[in-house]
Structure 1
Amino acid sequence: MKGLIIAYTEKFMHSLLNTLPESLIISNRYYYLPSFGNILYLEHLSEQDMDCIYISDEVNDQLKDISTIVEALASWFYVLKENGYLVISKTSNLTAQHIQQFLSDFAELSEFDEQNVPYYMVKKRIALPTKDVLHETAIKLCEQGDIDRAEMVLFKLYMLYPRFPFCYLLQANIWLQTKGGDYANVLWQRALRHTHCSQNLIFYALHLLRINNYHLGFQQRKDCLFKQDYFPSRSPIIPNMLDKRLCGAVEKLKQKTLLVWSEFGLGDEIMFGQLAYYLKHHCHVAKLIFMVQKPIKTLFETHPDIDLVLDASLMNETSFPDYDYWVYPHDLLAHVSEPFNLLPKRYPYFFAKHENKAKFSALMQSDKIKIGFVFRGNPSHENDKARSVHNVALIEPLLQFSEQIQWYCIQKEINQQERTLFDKYSIPYLGQYFDCMADTAGAVAQLDYLVSVDTSVIHLAGSLGIKGFVLVPFYTDWRWGYQGDENLWYPTIKVLRQRFDFNWTPVFERLKVELHEIIANRYNEEIV
């Protein structure tokens, strides 16, 4: 049995010992120490660590407002074991009303007006719902469009599990669509007060990126991963490279050789290729080398500002060219203080080669509006369940525009359901002929538009300057932001977003409206 005394002196405890029933007097008691964390958050103590927590009025100076009271109650309750007790001095700023309002679903309140120390006794119930059950309940309510009840469940989740990162992630996404970025900022600051766990730090960094605070967001991301000695590259770095990792401002790159190291997905590398112009012409890098994954090497060779492209799969310790600094693509903007939208850019920055275009020219002869589509990505992607469209019933109404639109399937792979549907509308399946991203570029460059979920192909279209629509889920990737149709990376790509109900149907209805407008503009007619 363990008890924690939230007090700075022994006066409170001596008085309390003369008042409490014997069952609440725990011999193994600890006075609060700074090593436990902040006195309100106890972030260095474990979940359900204490049988009893005694709270004196000496914390009044820190319980200044209702928000702080909520955070303190959630923190102390989290550290308390089931069937454990919070014993709270009645002279503290915590009132019975606070306890009833915020803990009534999880605790039983008793009041004692003893002469020495009047106090509240809050007993934590047993068999409380798990964080996963509450989180899944909130998601289901979102799917049903019942946001008010979803937020009520999320508040319960917070009061029981204030260190659970996905509680904040879901609530922040809701608030960004309903209240705006300031509310989400406050929420993530609260998360970090409760714990600086790596997941919260990464989620906060991603939040900063979603609100387009790239400099701070990428710094936060870089610092978090670096402190963990975690290097997430698909091409592992070599230990003796660490001394040459870029640190500080990009001004030091003037007349130097920079190696940009392969990291993460194909779409990421295509997107960050946009920074080559800035590095070469604003930072005055003498020689710019990109090491990329094999499928996109030929594509990167079309970039006018990249001096050398290396195939990551062929590199080893002895085959590197000389360089002064190296950097991950995701870390580049951590070294740039200027807002991303003000950086000089080349657009488009990748180009389809003649031989790759010729491979598809005969298959893509049409006087109609030529639109390609990608409705599913790589099934091994961590967010594929959310980002891909698996219901072909949503797709078929689009294909019925066949009198005005010539559709092309740009997906790399299709399942039997999709094949049956595409055969029904005689849609060419170009993805089966793609050997590398340069081939994909050869086909995409001949389109009028691309419609795609968030895969590398939409990044390719954006980098080629092709118009398009990206369909993004509620839990969207940071580069597409939280709100609006525009994005900072590709001026030709319009963003169509799921709302908090995780429902693709309104997204496809919006896409149909966009297609009507495209057809009307092309043929100068109204389609009803």
Structure 2
Amino acid sequence: MAPQPAPQPIEFRLAGDPADTEGWIIRSKLLNRPGLRDLAAASSRRALLLDPSQGAAWAERAFALTHCGRHAEALHAIGRALALDPADPGVLFRLTVALQRRGDFPACRTALDRLIHLQPDFPSHRWGRAQVRLHEGEYEEGFADYECRYWLDEYQQQAYRPHQGPRWTGQPLDGKIIMVTTEQGFGDTIMMARYLPLLKGLGARRVVVERAEELRRLFDGMAGVDAFVPRDVAPTPIYHVHSSIMSLPHRFGTTADTVPPPPRLTIPEEARAKAARLLGPRDDRFRVGIVWSGNQGFNDNHIRAAGLDRFLPLLSVPNTAFHSLQKGPPEAELQALGPDTPITALGPEMQDFADTAAVLEELDLVIMTDSSVAHLAGSLGVPVWNLVQHVPYWVYGRTGPTTPWYPSMRLYRQGPDEDWAPVFEAVRGDLERLAAGR
């Protein structure tokens, strides 16, 4: 049997034949990832100019446009793909993504139900339905669907370390040791820590909790927890049952009316002394903390983050003093403004969440786009104005200025056009009134 030729790199293949429709579709699929969606959309368009009957090209174009916020164009592309094959599960899946990102949840739910009927064993469809249900406050059904995440490919690869032994399913814990593991981001862990003290009430003999080093001081001495262990510790401590911390709302049967209050967090005195030194003596100005970006490793951070430039007009509000709590690469945006910018950079001084908590305690208000600091401020009861994208994290629901998870949080929402300008205009007006009345 003659040896098969090695596959050609896609760019080389297209350079040799720019009329290769399949090549442009493959290129679009390869580029359909964060930061490259515009290129993916352009590649699928090249394929469609060559052959508009290519349903795969319409589907890839729709997926790319959805993640670029071009929802009307995305739905048009999906319509063209469905016209070619009305029962293609891949196209239907892209339809659900487009409808969810647009905020059309009734239509999204209908499409998801159809997908689940066609492919009942695909966890991604139940995962999509979980997001819709949780956004709409249907917590019991939503958290039940949320459990399907264990079978998502990307989840198994990145988000969760599998543990041996039986998973806790909500039964009484009489005399048992339960191991609670963490997943997803720091904000999720801080938010769900409210359930840890409740486990003793179900009869647990010992509650052992996995914890990242960044949360060590903040969680020290938490009520109802017998021991914390570092994440990815080996060997795993002895336990009878285990549970992810993100499964606890489901196991406790949480509804929108029964969300428990945040737990008491620990702020060490040395952290408080450090915060006092960093902020200096109080004067009559309104102390405002700002954060403009979350973890840049999060796929949708480019949607939820607004950039420091959006916050700069707030600096002219009289009787205010601004302090940056930003951490990570986005700190460079503040450094680029130079030393005369009237924003105190506290990010480099905060080594863990206990340091951040101590600073938050000294502020009058935090204005920010969504990140772990929002969950920390909300858990501490610090007033926080959380500026969220049109379809935000499910915790914030779809409408209204409040969330049952954080009574001290006020939500400012983008409209369907996903424009930040009206959000910051509203924030500036409210801040002017608040600072003037101080």
* TM-score, scaled to structure 2: 0.77
SS in 1 for 2:337: helix
- Offset at residue 420 of structure 1 (A): 3.6
- Offset at residue 431 of structure 1 (A): 0.7
Q: Call closer, same or farther: CA 1:423–1:507 in 2, change over 3 Å.
A: farther
| Counterpart-to-counterpart distance in 2, 1:335 and 1:246 | 8
SS in 2 for 1:299: helix
Matched, 1:188 2:116: no
Q: In percent, how many aligned pairs have the same letter?
A: 22
Q: For each residue in 1:77-103, what CA deviation from the matched residue of structure 2 results, as whole angstroms up to 9, or x when unmatched? A: xxxxxxxxxxxxxxxxxxxxxxxxxxx
- Offset at residue 142 of structure 1 (A): 4.4
Contact 1:399 1:425 in 2 (8 A): no
- Offset at residue 337 of structure 1 (A): 2.8
| Counterpart-to-counterpart distance in 2, 1:153 and 1:363 | 53
SS in 2 for 1:305: coil
Contact 1:269 1:329 in 2 (8 A): yes
Question: Residue 102 of structure 2 aligns with which residue?
Answer: 174
Deviates more, 1:225-234 or 1:510-519: 225-234
Q: Call closer, same or farther: CA 1:233–1:222 in 2, change over 3 Å.
A: farther
Matched, 1:423 2:339: yes
Matched, 1:514 2:430: yes
- Offset at residue 369 of structure 1 (A): 1.3
Query: Which residue among 299, 307, 311 is the counterpart of 1:382?
Result: 299
Question: Residue 288 of structure 1 aligns with which residue?
Answer: 207
- Offset at residue 356 of structure 1 (A): 0.5
- Offset at residue 361 of structure 1 (A): 0.1
Contact 1:142 1:501 in 2 (8 A): no
Query: Which residue among 221, 225, 231 is the counterpart of 2:146?
Result: 221
After TM superposition, the structure 1 = structure 2 runs for residues 467-482 of structure 1, keeping only pairs within 5 Å, are 467-482=383-398
- Offset at residue 125 of structure 1 (A): 6.8
Question: Residue 39 of structure 2 aligns with which residue?
Answer: none
Q: For each residue in 1:64-87, what CA deviation from the matched residue of structure 2 results, as whole angstroms up to 9, or x when unmatched? A: xxxxxxxxxxxxxxxxxxxxxxxx
SS in 2 for 1:366: coil
Q: Call closer, same or farther: CA 1:159–1:289 in 2, change over 3 Å.
A: farther
Question: Residue 161 of structure 2 aligns with which residue?
Answer: 236
| Counterpart-to-counterpart distance in 2, 1:225 and 1:140 | 28
- Offset at residue 140 of structure 1 (A): 6.2
More helix by share: 2
Give the counterpart letter for 2:62 in structure 1.
L
Contact 1:215 1:339 in 2 (8 A): yes
Question: Residue 462 of structure 1 aligns with which residue?
Answer: 378
Contact 1:235 1:312 in 2 (8 A): no
Matched, 1:126 2:48: no
- Offset at residue 340 of structure 1 (A): 4.5
SS in 2 for 1:253: coil
Q: For each residue in 1:494-521, what CA deviation from the matched residue of structure 2 results, as whole angstroms up to 9, or x when unmatched? A: 1222223222212212221321232243
- Offset at residue 154 of structure 1 (A): 4.7
Give the counterpart letter for 1:132 in structure 2.
E
- Offset at residue 316 of structure 1 (A): 0.5
Contact 1:158 1:167 in 2 (8 A): no
Give the counterpart letter for 2:178 in structure 1.
L
SS in 2 for 1:204: helix
Higher relative contact order (CA 8 A, sep 6+): 2
Matched, 1:156 2:89: no
Q: For each residue in 1:398-418, what CA deviation from the matched residue of structure 2 results, as whole angstroms up to 9, or x when unmatched? A: 1222x3111110011344442
Give the counterpart letter for 1:126 in structure 2.
S
More strand by share: 1
Aligned residue pairs, count: 380
SS in 1 for 2:327: coil
Q: Call closer, same or farther: CA 1:166–1:203 in 2, change over 3 Å.
A: same
Query: Which residue among 301, 310, 319 is the counterpart of 2:229?
Result: 310
Question: Residue 210 of structure 1 aligns with which residue?
Answer: 135
Give the counterpart letter for 1:308 in structure 2.
A
| Counterpart-to-counterpart distance in 2, 1:214 and 1:192 | 19
- Offset at residue 288 of structure 1 (A): 2.2
Q: Call closer, same or farther: CA 1:520–1:227 in 2, change over 3 Å.
A: closer
- Offset at residue 375 of structure 1 (A): 0.2
Where structure 1 has 5 or more consecutive residues not aligned to the other structure, the ranges are 1-105, 107-123, 523-528
* TM-score, scaled to structure 1: 0.65
After TM superposition, the structure 1 = structure 2 runs for residues 273-422 of structure 1, keeping only pairs within 5 Å, are 273-281=193-201, 283-313=202-232, 315-317=233-235, 320=237, 322-343=238-259, 345-347=260-262, 349-364=264-279, 365-367=281-283, 368-390=285-307, 392-401=308-317, 403-413=318-328, 414-421=330-337
Question: Residue 349 of structure 2 aligns with which residue?
Answer: 433
RMSD: 2.9
Contact 2:215 2:354 in 1 (8 A): yes
SS in 2 for 1:200: helix
- Offset at residue 158 of structure 1 (A): 4.4
SS in 1 for 2:228: strand
SS in 1 for 2:344: coil
Matched, 1:259 2:174: no
- Offset at residue 217 of structure 1 (A): 2.1
| Counterpart-to-counterpart distance in 2, 1:256 and 1:480 | 35
Give the counterpart letter for 1:263 in structure 2.
E
SS in 2 for 1:428: strand
Deviates more, 1:410-419 or 1:353-362: 410-419
Give the counterpart letter for 2:207 in structure 1.
L
Contact 2:167 2:243 in 1 (8 A): yes
| Counterpart-to-counterpart distance in 1, 2:153 and 2:292 | 36
Contact 2:74 2:98 in 1 (8 A): no
| Counterpart-to-counterpart distance in 1, 2:149 and 2:333 | 43
| Counterpart-to-counterpart distance in 2, 1:518 and 1:427 | 19
Q: For each residue in 1:464-492, what CA deviation from the matched residue of structure 2 results, as whole angstroms up to 9, or x when unmatched? A: 11110112223422222222211121111
| Counterpart-to-counterpart distance in 2, 1:428 and 1:224 | 41
Q: Call closer, same or farther: CA 1:307–1:232 in 2, change over 3 Å.
A: farther
